[in-house]
Chains A and B, each alone.
Chain A
């Protein structure tokens, strides 16, 4: 018996040590900082290995571009002399039509249609010329003009529109001195026009970073800080990181650029390039797969419910502030009979007579919702309930939807005008001689604006609270800045406190069973305490006298 005991101890110890090492390997492998590379990272590196685009054309040597141009239209003709189908393709894209359907008969969704937001509200079917500075046509002509290829495909930074209007003005008179100036300008145009590129971050950013009328106004995860970001701001686009252009992920077919279009999701299903190597690279899963973390990592168990963005974008607007509140009802106030601007924190306006009251925020915590890639969209043609905040856009999805994930959003809140009789949001015309920013007459502006989109207006308006939701998907932080577990797994301060339909450990409990259980624990504690005190006071301690 004793002899056996002698061997027993070392054997048991060995087994225990073996078990511990085994368990350590399987449970801790995931969290070792210097372990093997995560599979999702490996895959993504494969997907972008051939990152240098190469070309067989030097546009400076192309004869079609080596001529004197007098107008933007002529430049476009030169482009089309080789790229014969480019304009035809582009005319069908939403970048040109500003309609989700691409069809003028279906005006439901789109800037050129009934869509409204709670920023500058509506582009009034391209009638508001102020909006057309972002339309890729020459001379703000909208879809009646010629495609301006240079908006996206030229990085000279040269102001073609202004130069062409100068050239045209100068060539009117026959003065030989102005002829020289014209020649000089045309030389400049010639040099600038040959700087043809695939669209870069600045090309897209010139409109998308400034959406809503200024830097960082609209998206929260898109602003001029992304023109040349560092990898801390955006691991993908960081110039010291992967240095992606937008089109790295927003892949393009026939000038149609992958991405969400109003209510339509960017993709129907998340597919990795392993499953479908021709899939657009628009989702994280495309390159990183749906099990991107190291094997055995609990993180991989999250990907069926939680979007990558939810953890990997801890905050948005991390460099430039973003607008979080816009109250149109306060617009129109004058100081000494004149419109004025009042600046607040971040050097950003907190009041503008033209637009009303603003609130700006930096390093904003997203709000989280179930999201299957679709957004609801209230247009100027939809009846609203003005007794509660109107969700102009709101994410669609719930737990039962296999495509839905918990996703971060910027919620932009504000007040905007609506028709008190028809209960529809209205589309005031802002710029132009009769626009609100000239007349400060909201009723007149609505009358004109709604006329432009063809929706009747009763003549009576009031202001209603609205929200709009922007999916937060850019500004992906380096992995060391991803959220820690307790940002969500917390009883009191969970970021997901409004997410229903899941049991979230650390946040959730059964009040009934917890109460019964803790009562039994405290009961036991009180019981033994009393028992012990009893023994102490009778001083017998279980021993007979």
Chain B
């Protein structure tokens, strides 16, 4: 059993953690205000919801640019390179092995913070859904000030639909945090930066690309 001892490694830098929680907070606020604007419920009142939604949306947009800059300059973008290696294994783990108490097939490491399933999900979200959401949001915001390439209903319906997909992601994402070594270990990791991994975890070469420097 000795090889199953866990150690903590410093996985998430201060910037990453700050960005993660800030982005999470902004997305939740955007969802809450957004669906009020959509007419799903009444909470703040339409005008307040719109003002807050615009404020947070624009802030997010600007800060996302900083995040992209950080990704590019640090090389952390490589964390998002999709792979099919062990993808089936991870999928099988969540579908079956987790109930049998088997260990996760992939251990996190500095060079590979995300498992293959996460890579796919996060790449899809960061590179597809979020940019489309930001673009449609900006087009919506500037609808009266710029040439109207798309009709308002097209923009609005896309924006709402992607918001629902992101809400979908949020639910799964929050749930997945409970699947660590203990219910809250992943959340703790994202707060402190220190993530629990097995002491003897073998890290394959492909998993460490992000930190390899020539």
Contact = CB atoms under 8 A, between A and B. Distances in A.
A12 B17 CA distance: 12
B183 interface: yes
Interface string B8-25: 000001110010001000
Contacts of A298: 50
B45 interface: yes
Nearest to A15: B66
A517 B156 contact: no
A514 interface: yes
A263 to B, nearest CB: 31
Contacts of A480: none
Interface residues of B, number: 56
A545 B99 CA distance: 12
A403 to B, nearest CB: 18
Interface string A505-545: 11111100110111011011101100110110010111111
Contacts of A534: 99
A528 B175 contact: yes
Interface stretch (B56-64, B120-128, B205-213): B56-64
A524 B47 CA distance: 31
Nearest to A30: B51
Contact of B168 (A510, A524, A535): A524
B54 to A, nearest CB: 5
A541 B66 CA distance: 38
A5 B161 contact: no
Contacts of A500: none
A507 B168 CA distance: 23
Nearest to B94: A531
A23 B66 contact: no
B156 A28 contact: no
B43 to A, nearest CB: 11
Please classify the interface of chain A as helix (H, G, I), strand (E, B), loop, or mixed, using the class held by over half of its residues: helix
A521 B171 contact: yes
Please classify the interface of chain B as helix (H, G, I), strand (E, B), loop, or mixed, using the class held by over half of its residues: helix
A27 interface: yes
B81 interface: no
Nearest to B176: A528
Interface stretch (A138-146, A415-423, A485-493): A485-493
B145 to A, nearest CB: 8
A164 to B, nearest CB: 60
Which of B39, B42, B46 gathers most chain A CB within 10 Å? Answer: B39
Given A16-B63, A527-B172, 14 more contacts: A9-B18, A20-B59, A27-B51, A28-B51, A301-B145, A489-B46, A502-B152, A503-B151, A508-B153, A513-B160, A538-B99, A540-B99, A542-B98, A542-B104
18 contacts: A5-B14, A12-B18, A15-B66, A20-B59, A27-B58, A28-B55, A298-B50, A300-B144, A484-B45, A489-B39, A503-B152, A505-B37, A506-B38, A506-B39, A513-B157, A517-B161, A531-B175, A543-B101
